[in-house]
Structure 1
C-alpha cells in the first residue's frame, strides 16, 4: 500500500465539523477513557481538529496531549488557529517517534491510520505506549464505498487493520466495521 500525506493546501477541510459524521468527539473520548494526569498522542493530528477535543476534555484533569504530524505545514495551520496550553506540537513520522519507551498512556488516530500503517510504525507505537496503554483508531474502511476520504484501494478494512496491530503486540478489545469507516480499541 502506498503512503501519502494530506495536502496542506486543503487544510481547511480538516476543520469541517462534518467530520463528526464519521467519528464524534464523544465517541473518541469514550474509547480513549482518559484518566487524571495521562499523556496521549494524536497520530496524524493535521490541524488539530480532534486534538482540540481531547485537549479541551483533558484540560480539567491534567491530561497532556502531543499533536504528532509528519508535516510541519499542518502545525503552522494549527498555530494560526491557536494551540491549547496542554498540547505540544511534534513534527515526526509515526515510524520514528521522539518519545521514551512506555511514555504514553494512550494514542489515537482519526482518518490517518491508512497513511502510516505498517509493521515498523506500529512497533514504534507499541514501544512508546506503556503496558496496558490504549490505541484508538477510526479510519476509512476498505470495505466502504468511497463516498468520502481517500480511494478505497488506499484503505484497510477492520480485519486487515486488526491483523496489523495484533502482529505489533496489541490486543484488539473492540472493533466495528461501519458503513464507510471502521473503529477499533486496542491495548498494548
Structure 2
C-alpha cells in the first residue's frame, strides 16, 4: 500500500497528464507531445540491420516515443511493449496505434512500472523517459533498474531520461513547494546509482541538462526546475 504522500503525488500526476492528453493531440505543436525524444530515436539506429527488434517503453504514455519506434519497425519483425498506469494513456495509445497504422506492433500494458515483470534477455531496447522517478521509492527504483539490466539482450541498449533535484515554486507568491516527485535525489546521487547498476556496460550517452518550465496545478501556476539526466548504455555482447 502506498503512503498518503505517494497517493497525493499519483493523483496530481494523473490530473496533469489526463488534462494534457485530453487537450493536446499527439505530434501537434503546443506541448511536449509534439515530437519524440531525439536521443531515443537516434539510438534506435543501432538496430537498423536487425530483422527483429523487441522494445520496452516504460511509462509510454500515449505513444510519444512508441508510435515513432513502431513506425520505424514497419517492414520488419518486432514489437513495442508499452507500459503505463493511466487508463487515459492506454486508451489513447491504442487509438493512435490505429490512426498511425502501427497497431500490430504496439502491445499496451496497464500496470505500474514498479511492479511490471521483465523477463530475462527479453528486449533489445528498453526506454524509460521521465518515468522511473515516479516509482514509489528508491528501493523500487533500484529494483526496476536490476530487472531492466537482466531483461536486456546481449548488445541491447537502455535509454533513460531521469529527473533529479526537482524543485517547485508557486509563481504568484514565490514560495517554495513540496516537489511532487516520488524519487527526488541529487544529481550526483542519481549518476552514482545509474553507474553502479550498469557497471560493465558501455556508456553511449551521458548528458545532464538543467530545465525549467511552467505547469498548472489546481489553478496555480507552478515553476518546475530539474536536472534532467539522459543516460544511454549498451550491454556487452
Which of the five TM-score ranges fits, normalised by the shorter chain? 0.7 to 0.9
TM-score relative to the length of structure 1: 0.77
2: CA distance, partners of 1:97 / 1:131: 21
Counterpart in the other structure of 1:88: 107
Counterpart in the other structure of 2:206: 175
With over 3 angstroms needed to count, the CA separation of the structure-2 counterparts of 1:132 and 1:166, relative to structure 1, is farther
Runs of 4+ in 1 over 6 A off after TM superposition: 143-146
2: CA distance, partners of 1:172 / 1:160: 20
Counterpart in the other structure of 2:59: 44
Q: 1:62 aligned to 2:77?
A: yes
Moved more, 45-54 or 3-12: 3-12
Q: Which runs of 5+ in 1 are unaligned?
A: none
Structure possessing the higher relative contact order (Cα contacts under 8 Å, 6 or more residues apart)? 1
TM superposition shift of 1:145? 8.2
With over 3 angstroms needed to count, the CA separation of the structure-2 counterparts of 1:44 and 1:14, relative to structure 1, is farther
Per-residue Cα deviation, 1:130-185 (whole angstroms, up to 9, x for no partner)? 23321101244427888xxxx76734555333322333345361211113132110
With over 3 angstroms needed to count, the CA separation of the structure-2 counterparts of 1:50 and 1:157, relative to structure 1, is farther
Give the aligned CA root-mean-square deviation in angstroms: 3.3
Question: What is the SS of the residue equivalent to 1:126?
Answer: helix
1:159 to 185, 188, 199: 188
1: CA distance, partners of 2:92 / 2:39: 25
Give the number of aligned pairs. 184
With over 3 angstroms needed to count, the CA separation of the structure-2 counterparts of 1:61 and 1:145, relative to structure 1, is farther
1: CA distance, partners of 2:70 / 2:187: 27
1:111 to 130, 134, 139: 130
Counterpart in the other structure of 1:19: 32
Question: What is the SS of the residue equivalent to 2:73?
Answer: helix
Q: Which runs of 5+ in 2 are unaligned?
A: 170-177, 212-227
**Structure exhibiting the larger radius of gyration computed from Cα positions:** 2
With over 3 angstroms needed to count, the CA separation of the structure-2 counterparts of 1:165 and 1:145, relative to structure 1, is same
With over 3 angstroms needed to count, the CA separation of the structure-2 counterparts of 1:158 and 1:74, relative to structure 1, is same
With over 3 angstroms needed to count, the CA separation of the structure-2 counterparts of 1:19 and 1:172, relative to structure 1, is farther
1:127 to 140, 150, 155: 150
Moved more, 156-165 or 127-136: 156-165
2: CA distance, partners of 1:20 / 1:72: 17
Which has the larger share of strand? 2
